[in-house]
Structure 1
Amino acid sequence: MICRATVSRDGNFFLSLINRAKTHSHLNQTHAQIIHNNILNDNITITKLVQKLLDLKATAQAKLLFTHTKSPDLFLYNVLIKGLKAYPFDSLLVYKNLRQQTTLVPDNFTYSFIIFAFSGASLSGSEKFGVLLHGQAIISGFGTDLFVGSALVDIYGSLEHCDIWVFNGMVKRTMRIDSTTLAVVLSGIAELQEMSFGMMLQSLAYRLVAIFTSMCLLPDLIAYNAMISGYSFNNKTESSVQLFKELLFSVEKVNSSTMVGLIPVFHPFGHLELTSLIHGFCFGILELHDIRLCPKWLSHFFVKCRILILIQILSHPVTITSILSACSQLGALSLGKWVHDLIKRESIESNIYVATALIDMYAKCGSIKEARRLFDMTRDKNVVTWNAMISGYGLHGHGHGHEALLLFDEMLCSAVPPTGVTFLSILYACSHAGLVTEGEKIFHSMVHEHCFKPSPEHYACMVDILGRAGKLQDALEFINGMLIEPGPAEWGALLGACVIHKDTNLAHLAFDKLFELDPENVGYNVLLSNIYSTEHNYSWAALVREVVKKRNLVKTPGCTLIEVKGHPHVFMSSDWSHPESKSIYAMLEKLIDKMRDVGYQMETITALHDVEEEEKELMVKVHSEKLAIVFGLITSEPGEEIRIIKNLRVCLDCHNFTKFVSKITERIIVVRDANRFHHFEDGTCSCGDYW
């Protein structure tokens, strides 16, 4: 007879498991063990589980678990009310249940959490609920509570001047004022930008300092920054500088937020000397990690006052690189060219940091030839310069892959050693150009010749290289042979390849792994649904979409930006908000009729299966990139190049549409999507239909 020892599991054991849980799957396993060990009546354990579920955005499961708790205590109610702050009316239902279905009495935390839920709500009438909840808090004796007061300041901030009234009431009742309350009310005052409240700001500030002093406390950095910013916004520059001096002599350490608040907003030209001093302070006194933050606020100031920066600080290379980096990320080519002209005027184009930033900007804004011209002109290239150009070729993909390889070989022959970023850039180029053998050789060289330990990004690139080329089993074997645990990047690359090559079985494996690692990512569900749709397995596609709906997952909406004569225009799918919408849709119909005459057919395979074919065509016909391209055709001169930026990967139908448009209109169309650039000309794309 075999005797098995029964291991006793108490609440502390499961609290430890819940704290260590990183994924939804881990929590589900822990929940099952809690049920198995009959600890469902332990409110401490259940409260921790609900809190963790809310942290992982498993809102529906958290509410379900709460509903099945026999005797929830006030702490559990408060945790759920706080966790549902993104869903204020769900939070309100829990609060209502607490008051009407239990004998529990709401405390100050209950009221602060429920009021705070409505303070950030953009829903119509949410302020009214906040006012009603304020009344209930007063009746319950929490009208003068610090936490409730802070939440009230936030919600009344949306009702003009009311936040000042609430704050004054808090001060008059000698409540304790924390820095969060102070930051909220001063931000409200600053945004009002009225002289009367600007004058009130000074008296409030002195009263706050008096309150802090009477409590034997000093204002913290958050309080100082809020007050300095409030003074600046209300044109009290001398007061903001005086407070800044006081801060320098305190125990608090100045940070970049302090410097942003110190910038004179209303009359910058009247404070050129102060601007120079601020600039000098950042680059001469702040520590290194603060210096890295300085370009952010300098770029912010640049947007407010271009000419001032040109006069005072534009010639600094760190500032230039920050501004060009912003242009790169936004795809703002016209602004980048404007900055380039200023750089030429200031004769700092030869600076290696500026030159590298220019190369990166032009490459990421679609002008790969200009990027290469500047690269060839640059002397004493550093590793970042080489990486920027190789990465640029990778973004532009097919047709540029071999140029990236030649450049990589040239770099190896130079005195500049490659870095992990270099290998990532060249592998990325191989992936988008379909260079499988070359990619495998480079990965092997990176590990065995250059002794680099591959990062998850390097592994994901190799999976992408193999998967895009149709070598799905090789990609799976590569993942299984990794020296580190495969993550979402590797399995995501495999799932994307399965979509391209319509391998449902392997897609299931990749999706199961991704669901365990990243359950809240709706993109993977969309990919799996698309695989089923392409195979006409519409029932499974519908099932996947139904799961997405039930879990309240939201797909990122597609949008496309086009810049016309220096002004950005953003389009959404089926967008009628643009002033030229009638002309755009009329032109779109004419274009599609012409394109059909030369063989264009809409790709509707991934559209919803339960609608008629005409409706499917209508759904894909009004995608955002099509509207943007048509608007570009209407507003530009014949033969002028059109450039658009899409926030998601371009779909198959829009890709074919753009090829036909480039053919019949004799235009070059450059599309930057989430992954790469597409250069359309005379009916073909630079990606070679390999994307």
Structure 2
Amino acid sequence: MPSPGLPPPAAALLADVGALRRSSRGGIASGSASARALHGLAVAAGYAGDTFVASAFTKLYSTLSRGDDARRVFDAVPSPDTVLWNTLLAALSGSEAMEMFVRMVRAGSAQPDSTTLSSVLPAAAEVADVTMGRCVRAFGEKCGLAQDEHVVTALISLYAKCGDMECARHLFDRMVAPDLVAYNALISGYSVNGMVGSSVELFKDLVTLGLRPTSSTLVALIPVHSPFGHEQLTRCLHAYVVKAGFDANAPVSTSLTTLYCRLNDMDSARKAFDAMPEKTMESWNAMISGYAQNGLTEKAVALFQKMQALNVPPNPLTISSALSACAQLGALSLGKWVHKIISKENLELNVYVMTALIDMYVKCGSIAEARRIFDRMDNKNVVSWNVMISGYGLHGQGAEALKLYKDMLDANLLPTSSTFLSVLYACSHGGLVEEGRTAFRSMTSDYGFTPGIEHCTCMVDLLGRAGRLKEAYELISEFPKNAIGPGVWGALLAACMVHKDAELAKLASQKLFELEPENTGYYVLLSNLYTSKKQYSEAAGVRQEAKSKKLVKTPGCTLIELGDKPHVFMAGDRAHPQSDAINSYLEKLTTKMIEAGYRPDTEAALYDVEEEEKEHMVKVHSEKLAIAFGLLNTEPGTEIRIIKNLRVCLDCHNATKIISKVTQRLIVVRDASRFHHFRDGICSCGDYW
């Protein structure tokens, strides 16, 4: 309601402000534009210094997440009252709100009240600043506000978010008659801190006392932060939610969706999502990111497309999840479509979105486009640098990765543990052994990082790829025990396969069979190594052991996009509609390849089949079928891009080099470990993969 002393023009302005604040139509971007237009009218009419008008606009900007604009409104008022201070505190977050509270106390022109403390305590909780929280509590005790139930509840929430459940419970127990909000705060604290049993007991207490749970109670109770080990509780809570009629409530169903996604129960997650008649942005994000994080990338993209069809504007998290799905799929055309949406939604200044975009282009094989976007970013953070450095490593451009790392240090950015992982990865795939050693030493001596499992794995991989197997094995003995996982021994086994060291491979595989007895890949690697060295009885023994454990080899498959449609091929695949044409073309292509010097490499093929059959087996590997399909269906000179789920074999690597030469095509292959760019008979990896 407008202030009684304001003339009609101001009353009309304030009515418009209230209507705009209540309405969410048009999104934040258009809402901000309307807010600024109204604010301009208010300033022009001479109301910039009026506390009532200022409070209304501060609330409006807060609703639109425009903290800077709210601050400017406040600063234009010469003598802000307590209500205006409180409105601004509610609009700000974290350290900004705490700084403003200190400024209010020091100014002394307006007396803080319980609302003031109830606003600043959540800000302290947001950044887990328990010291600030205790200072606010002491101030409240001095001013006689510490016993206010809203202040006590805010303190309970603060202590809970800072992990001090003992203090939180102590405050709760001192309350004469805690209300439902206080119960919710403590239940949430128990859930967030993994004390799920205590949260359930407290929930039972409030029900026994006759308090009626609200949607906030259920959101607090659902163990989103500690999902594992509570699957049965999750089912019971879901049943209660349905029975109590909360399944249509967006926050409750979104929490259930998130919980099921973390449990990898995607069917139940989708049921909870679909039960919401009115989905919020958080709901869409929970389901899309859940699909992406659980490897269901096609479903993530499909749901994002549905969201677009319904004209629901995405936010940065939605875009980042969609880009992650495109990156995993290697779907460049879809990634470019999302890029257009980023431009349309004016999200090109968001560092998280642009970093995800760089990652997408890197993983879809467009390293040059990734670098172009990186260079155009004005607000790069350390994650942006890490992604670009790692991208160069993925594409075998180790020297570029090291140059970029130096540029990062020159820009006075401190590297993180992930930075060193990116650098080591790049050195490993670029054959830069000494540079990798230097980086590995530097992370400890210069920056104080303790190498983790992934860093140690990279070092073994680095030495192993370079053929320095003995050094790699000796280095493993120097690692802390908690840093020696399957990845370390797996890197050594893969290197033994490349350099044909059966003795060391046997030792590494024994460790792996103990650590991951159901991983078929290790058995396949060892068997292939024995076969390539013509140790057929040993190869048969390994295959028999895998068979006795009922282990099944992961089938190789290769994806290629034509237009915006993906085509997937398996080894020996005859299911594709163009199968006859593909195989016929491949026969003719093989003849040209042989004339150009190609000889099939059948070393790792099954030993108990005829040589002619071995040659046929390697000829119809999935990547060859995908490349043939691409060559058949694109214009001469068009770049071919394929994605293989496993490491590309030696024969296919050699064959693709020859194919790139005889067809005069650039062929980009993404396998399980890196990118290969084949041009004129040469691979970017330098046969080092």
Which category describes the TM-score, using the shorter chain as reference length? Answer: 0.5 to 0.7
- Residue 466 and residue 582 in structure 1: after superposition, are their counterparts in 2 closer, same or farther (change >3 A)? same
The match for 1:355 is: 354
Q: Give the counterpart letter for 1:523 in structure 2.
A: G
Alignment of 1:385-404 (within 5 A): 385-397=384-396, 400-404=397-401
Identity level (%): 55
Instruction: State the 1:312 CA deviation.
Output: 4.5
Q: TM-score, normalised by structure 2?
A: 0.60
The question of whether the paired residues in 2 share the 8 Å contact of 1:313 and 1:319 is answered with: no
Q: Give the counterpart letter for 2:389 in structure 1.
A: I
Instruction: State the 1:356 CA deviation.
Output: 0.6
The match for 1:494 is: 492
Q: Which moved more, 1:364-373 or 1:545-554?
A: 545-554
Task: Select 2:463's aligned residue among 459, 462, 466.
Answer: 466
Partner secondary structure for residue 645 of structure 1 = strand
Alignment of 1:318 with 2:317, yes or no, is yes
Alignment of 1:607 with 2:605, yes or no, is yes
1:117-169 CA distance string (max 9 Å, x none): xxxxxxxxxxxxxxxxxxxxxxxxxxxxxxxxxxxxxxxxxxxxxxxxxxxxx
Aligned counterparts of 2:292 and 2:633: Cα–Cα separation in 1: 35
Aligned counterparts of 2:667 and 2:433: Cα–Cα separation in 1: 28
Aligned counterparts of 2:288 and 2:303: Cα–Cα separation in 1: 21
Aligned counterparts of 1:665 and 1:472: Cα–Cα separation in 2: 38
1:237-287 CA distance string (max 9 Å, x none): xxx8x7535996x9x97553698546669xx9xx8xx34xx226889xxxx
The match for 1:344 is: 343
Q: Give the counterpart letter for 2:600 in structure 1.
A: M
Instruction: State the 1:435 CA deviation.
Output: 0.3
The question of whether the paired residues in 1 share the 8 Å contact of 2:392 and 2:400 is answered with: yes
The match for 1:190 is: none
Q: Give the counterpart letter for 2:434 in structure 1.
A: T
The question of whether the paired residues in 2 share the 8 Å contact of 1:314 and 1:320 is answered with: no
Task: Select 2:451's aligned residue among 449, 454, 462.
Answer: 454
Give me the CA root mean square deviation. 3.1
The match for 2:644 is: 646
Q: Give the counterpart letter for 2:601 in structure 1.
A: E
Instruction: State the 1:294 CA deviation.
Output: 10
Partner secondary structure for residue 328 of structure 2 = helix
Task: Select 1:562's aligned residue among 560, 563, 572.
Answer: 560
- Residue 260 and residue 410 in structure 1: after superposition, are their counterparts in 2 closer, same or farther (change >3 A)? same
Alignment of 1:170-181 (within 5 A): none
Q: Give the counterpart letter for 1:221 in structure 2.
A: L
Instruction: State the 1:500 CA deviation.
Output: 1.1
Partner secondary structure for residue 448 of structure 2 = coil
Q: Which moved more, 1:311-320 or 1:446-455?
A: 311-320
Instruction: State the 1:482 CA deviation.
Output: 1.0
Aligned counterparts of 1:510 and 1:480: Cα–Cα separation in 2: 13
Aligned counterparts of 1:219 and 1:689: Cα–Cα separation in 2: 52
Alignment of 1:244 with 2:243, yes or no, is no
Aligned counterparts of 1:299 and 1:661: Cα–Cα separation in 2: 30
The question of whether the paired residues in 1 share the 8 Å contact of 2:460 and 2:491 is answered with: yes
Instruction: State the 1:473 CA deviation.
Output: 1.0
- Residue 582 and residue 601 in structure 1: after superposition, are their counterparts in 2 closer, same or farther (change >3 A)? same
- Residue 253 and residue 682 in structure 1: after superposition, are their counterparts in 2 closer, same or farther (change >3 A)? closer
- Residue 481 and residue 302 in structure 1: after superposition, are their counterparts in 2 closer, same or farther (change >3 A)? closer
The match for 1:371 is: 370
Alignment of 1:408 with 2:410, yes or no, is no
The match for 2:614 is: 616
Aligned counterparts of 1:377 and 1:655: Cα–Cα separation in 2: 35
- Residue 532 and residue 408 in structure 1: after superposition, are their counterparts in 2 closer, same or farther (change >3 A)? same
Q: Give the counterpart letter for 2:640 in structure 1.
A: I
Alignment of 1:279 with 2:281, yes or no, is yes
The question of whether the paired residues in 2 share the 8 Å contact of 1:472 and 1:498 is answered with: yes
The match for 1:206 is: none
- Residue 357 and residue 225 in structure 1: after superposition, are their counterparts in 2 closer, same or farther (change >3 A)? farther
The match for 2:236 is: 220
Instruction: State the 1:638 CA deviation.
Output: 1.2
Alignment of 1:482 with 2:479, yes or no, is yes
Q: Give the counterpart letter for 1:477 in structure 2.
A: E
Instruction: State the 1:677 CA deviation.
Output: 0.5
Aligned counterparts of 2:336 and 2:367: Cα–Cα separation in 1: 14
- Residue 612 and residue 259 in structure 1: after superposition, are their counterparts in 2 closer, same or farther (change >3 A)? closer
Instruction: State the 1:396 CA deviation.
Output: 0.6
Q: Give the counterpart letter for 2:629 in structure 1.
A: F
1:641-680 CA distance string (max 9 Å, x none): 1111100000000011111111111111111000000111
Alignment of 1:114-193 (within 5 A): none
Q: Give the counterpart letter for 1:355 in structure 2.
A: M
- Residue 586 and residue 543 in structure 1: after superposition, are their counterparts in 2 closer, same or farther (change >3 A)? same
Aligned counterparts of 2:250 and 2:562: Cα–Cα separation in 1: 48
Q: Which moved more, 1:409-418 or 1:488-497?
A: 409-418
The match for 1:335 is: 334
Q: Give the counterpart letter for 1:386 in structure 2.
A: W
Instruction: State the 1:628 CA deviation.
Output: 0.6
Aligned counterparts of 2:250 and 2:601: Cα–Cα separation in 1: 66
Q: Which moved more, 1:548-557 or 1:375-384?
A: 548-557
Task: Select 1:430's aligned residue among 413, 416, 427.
Answer: 427
Partner secondary structure for residue 481 of structure 2 = coil
Aligned counterparts of 1:310 and 1:649: Cα–Cα separation in 2: 37
In structure 2, stretches of 5+ residues that fail to align are 1-232, 261-267
Aligned counterparts of 2:477 and 2:235: Cα–Cα separation in 1: 55
The match for 2:506 is: 508
The match for 1:418 is: 415
Partner secondary structure for residue 392 of structure 2 = helix
The match for 1:74 is: none
Partner secondary structure for residue 668 of structure 2 = strand
Aligned counterparts of 1:247 and 1:437: Cα–Cα separation in 2: 53
In structure 1, stretches of 5+ residues that fail to align are 1-216, 229-239, 284-288
The question of whether the paired residues in 1 share the 8 Å contact of 2:247 and 2:272 is answered with: no
- Residue 549 and residue 292 in structure 1: after superposition, are their counterparts in 2 closer, same or farther (change >3 A)? closer
Q: Give the counterpart letter for 2:248 in structure 1.
A: F
- Residue 509 and residue 500 in structure 1: after superposition, are their counterparts in 2 closer, same or farther (change >3 A)? same
Alignment of 1:675 with 2:673, yes or no, is yes
Partner secondary structure for residue 642 of structure 2 = strand
Partner secondary structure for residue 459 of structure 2 = helix
Aligned counterparts of 1:330 and 1:298: Cα–Cα separation in 2: 6
Partner secondary structure for residue 680 of structure 1 = strand
Aligned counterparts of 2:250 and 2:306: Cα–Cα separation in 1: 31
The match for 1:544 is: 542
- Residue 225 and residue 422 in structure 1: after superposition, are their counterparts in 2 closer, same or farther (change >3 A)? farther
- Residue 294 and residue 556 in structure 1: after superposition, are their counterparts in 2 closer, same or farther (change >3 A)? closer
Aligned counterparts of 2:514 and 2:272: Cα–Cα separation in 1: 47
Aligned counterparts of 1:669 and 1:443: Cα–Cα separation in 2: 33
1:448-473 CA distance string (max 9 Å, x none): 11110111111010011111111111
- Residue 584 and residue 511 in structure 1: after superposition, are their counterparts in 2 closer, same or farther (change >3 A)? same
1:493-531 CA distance string (max 9 Å, x none): 111111111112211221222222222222112111222
- Residue 339 and residue 536 in structure 1: after superposition, are their counterparts in 2 closer, same or farther (change >3 A)? same
Partner secondary structure for residue 362 of structure 2 = helix
The question of whether the paired residues in 2 share the 8 Å contact of 1:320 and 1:354 is answered with: yes
- Residue 482 and residue 640 in structure 1: after superposition, are their counterparts in 2 closer, same or farther (change >3 A)? same
Aligned counterparts of 1:446 and 1:625: Cα–Cα separation in 2: 39
Q: Which moved more, 1:290-299 or 1:584-593?
A: 290-299
Q: Give the counterpart letter for 2:460 in structure 1.
A: V
Q: Give the counterpart letter for 2:328 in structure 1.
A: Q
The match for 2:18 is: none
The match for 2:661 is: 663
Aligned counterparts of 1:571 and 1:295: Cα–Cα separation in 2: 23
- Residue 687 and residue 246 in structure 1: after superposition, are their counterparts in 2 closer, same or farther (change >3 A)? closer
Q: Give the counterpart letter for 1:680 in structure 2.
A: F
Q: TM-score, normalised by structure 1?
A: 0.60
Aligned counterparts of 1:393 and 1:574: Cα–Cα separation in 2: 33
